[in-house]
Each structure stands twice: as C-alpha cells, then as structure tokens.
Amino acid sequence: MSLVDLNDVVKHYGQHTVLNGVSLTVAKGEIVAIIGRSGSGKSTLLRCVDGLEPIQGGTISFDGTVINDLGMDLRKLRQHVGIVFQSFNLFPHLSVEENITLAPNVVKRVPLAEARRLAETVLQKVGQAEKIDAYPNQLSGGQQQCVAIARSLAMSPQLMLFDDPELVGEVPKLLEEMARDGMTMILVTHEIGFARQIADRVAFMHQGRIWEEGPAAATLARPRTPELETFLSAVSLH
C-alpha cells in the first residue's frame, strides 16, 4: 500500500524549472533516500510533498488524498507529515518543552499537562530528556536537530521528511531506530554510505528528474546510468 504518490510533478520558479516530470511512489514503512547534486531538485521535492510549495503540473497524493487540490486543508496534512529542515526551524524564544508542546496543544488541542508528558516521552526517545527546559541557543547543532525530530514525533506523523540531516551525535542511531519502528521516511542526503545502510530504495535526481532509482545497495553498487556513476565517483563512499 503506497503512502505517497508523485505523478509527473512539475515545479517552476519563474522561468526556471526545478522539478520536470517527477514520479515517485513510497510505500508505508519504506525508507527512500533522495540523492543528487546541489540544485537537482531534492529539497524542493520534499517541500512539495509537505504542501509548502505549490506545483504547476502533475499530482501529489498522500494516503490516497490528492494534496495539491485547491480545497486541500494543508494544516490537516501537516498533522500527519513531519519535516525536519537543515536549519531545524526551532522557535528561539521558546524553550525546548514549549517548542514541542506548541503544535499538539494548538493544533490537536492536547491539554498542556498531557502535552508536557508527551514532550518528556519524545525527548527521552531522542536522548535529550535533560534539555527540556533549555533554549535552542543553549544547544549544539546535533541537539537542536534531535529536538526538531522530537517536535515532529510529538505529532505522531505517518511520514517523516528529512532535508539532509547532519549525521552527528545520536542522530544516525535515532534514524535507525525510527526505521526499525516502521516509520515511513523520505530522506534527502549527501551521505551515500548512510543512504546505503538505512534506505530500502534510493532515487537519484538529475536535471529536475528522477534519473535512476532502485534498491539502495544494488543501485549504489551498480549504477545503470553514466550520470549516477559520475555522481558516485565524485562523492565520498564512507
């Protein structure tokens, strides 16, 4: 059963075409790593899946519902889709607890006492329980990223989107645990070794298209196109 379906998606910024007929299906519980050079459309694809960017052609469906329909309630969609940006986007004036409890309390109407217990639970899961009263500027980059992940997990999402996560501290272990728990993930990454290790499938983007895709280990070991072969030879294979 597919959770996400992109069908011939087109995205323009002015005269510049960023996504040029992208089709991709992600099954429930599957982890798909998106790789490719800077500017190939990877991050834009994630933003379109979350409804943060409108598309100019094609369709994107989440759990059977077309999300680019004009009548789609994007706030409702985002209750089920978590996204962790490179910049983490934590509110600097709010404590870690307040960053995590805000959406469950405001969007899902979870009472504050229950939301606090939820914050304690997800912070424990990401190994940052002792940081509940800290502020973002008191945290390292890796800790901020863990808190951003915890904030998403507090909404009990069906899908997690990661835009080039920094694989520092507890983060790789945390992502592996989420994978074992059956979380569906789309992960933009430049860490090819990690993609091979964690992903079920890899999709290589080139010139705004999915140029090649397949099982992660086999595709990265034996690329079928010269473009992917050239890309892999230019990046670290740690």
Residues 140 and 36 in one domain: no
Residues 200 and 226 in one domain: yes
Q: Mean pLDDT over residues 140-157, rounded?
A: 92
**Percent of the chain clearing pLDDT 90 (strictly above):** 75
Residues 170 and 146 in one domain: no
Residue where one domain finishes, among candidates 101, 133, 156: 156
Residues 147 and 222 in one domain: no
Cβ proximity of 116 and 97 under 8 Å: yes
Concatenate the DSSP letters of all residues of 38-58 into one string.
Answer: TTSSHHHHHHHHTTSS--SEE
Return the CATH number at 1.
3.40.50.300
pTM: 0.92
Tokens of 102: 């805000």
Q: What is the sign, positive or negative, of the torsion defined by CA atoms of 24, 22, 89, 76?
A: negative
Concatenate the DSSP letters of all residues of 212-229 into one string.
Answer: EEEEHHHHHHS-SSHHHH
- Total number of domains in the chain: 2
pLDDT at position 88 is 81
The full length of the chain comes to 238
Q: Mean pLDDT over residues 6-15, rounded?
A: 94
Residues 192 and 237 in one domain: yes
For residue 36, pLDDT over 70 is answered with yes
Rounded to whole angstroms, the Cα distance separating 129 from 149 reads: 13
Calculated CA dihedral for residues 160, 162, 168, 170, nearest 10 degrees: 0
Give the model's confidence band at 215: pLDDT under 50 very low, under 70 low, under 90 confident, else very high. very high
Q: Which of 75, 80, 19 is nearest to 44 (CA)?
A: 19
Which residues constitute the domain of residue 113?
A: 89-156
pLDDT at position 236 is 58
Q: Mean pLDDT over residues 4-26, rounded?
A: 95
Computed over every residue of the chain, the mean pLDDT equals: 92
Residue where one domain finishes, among candidates 156, 174, 202: 156
Residues 144 and 197 in one domain: no
Q: Which of 139, 138, 195, 136 is nearest to 165 (CA)?
A: 195
Residues 123 and 145 in one domain: yes
Residues 10 and 51 in one domain: yes
Residue where one domain finishes, among candidates 99, 127, 156: 156
